[in-house]
Structure 1
């Protein structure tokens, strides 16, 4: 893992925005590339003045969309049997795909948006969206809107932390869990309010 992190950091340091794009494309295409490192180090480069904040965010979102479209296409054309048979060759965990499938089965198209803030699920959610052959335009829209908060948050955190940007990776798992908890509560409150509104109308 340390060697992987060094490769990511060196590549982004050398190539900047294209490296951010490629790294996020790989992560969103279900490969084990940590977005915390990509965005955290990108934020550090913004801190140093070597990158600009808005283009870094744009590169991250665009890369995430490209990878998500690739995963969607695999799910759309190959289906779950294809992923289960050949996924192991590109480090696709059956358990992770199953978790993303459960999330999608429960929340449908909305999962494409909300899951971008969840650990593990955000990396694999495009596959069940492809399995279900959801509307492509809506899929793209939800993917972009869902990716923006996570991208902005991590790059800005790297900017604020400066030379201590690596803390983002160290606490990334806890941060993911915290965001997931807040998101779950928000969803529950939303549906509770929706049910009360329906009850009042009845």
Structure 2
């Protein structure tokens, strides 16, 4: 089974914290987490993509999507939508769509906002749309997760989220629990699909 790709854009570090907490859940399920980010976009159409950051994960390439067995996609909210750098990267995946490279791979989404009602759910839904076009299987968070009933910060059935209240970027305990649960669920789904595909191939 290939790695679980955790792909995100983060401006001030809050979304990155979610990504790393999801990775904990992925690896707790026995899978390998591959964390990648995307570069900022420039208003100059001829600007070259910057080199990989000196700290933190490298920038994603299309091969990361091809090689992964599952995807966790994250972005801060920009007016109720995903941030432009992540959209810019997804807009480059038409070749993968033509080849059906992502069909039947499980995926989840995550986001962060600086206010309680900052458009989290619409942002999560906006990130699902291109994944559905790719034929991916969306994995939300079921209400069997106790932290969904007790959180007073982030957390939605559409995917994990974080609220940066009063510039406090630390994840709440409920947010951490939901991230771990989301990562674990995603890895388990990837493993189950991989097993079914392998068994089907053997049967043929």
State the TM-score bracket (shorter-chain normalisation).
0.3 to 0.5
The structure that is helix-richer by fraction is 1
* TM-score normalised per structure 2: 0.32
> Which of these two proteins has the greater Rg computed from alpha carbons?
1
Q: Which has the higher strand share?
A: 2
Q: TM-score, normalised by structure 1?
A: 0.32
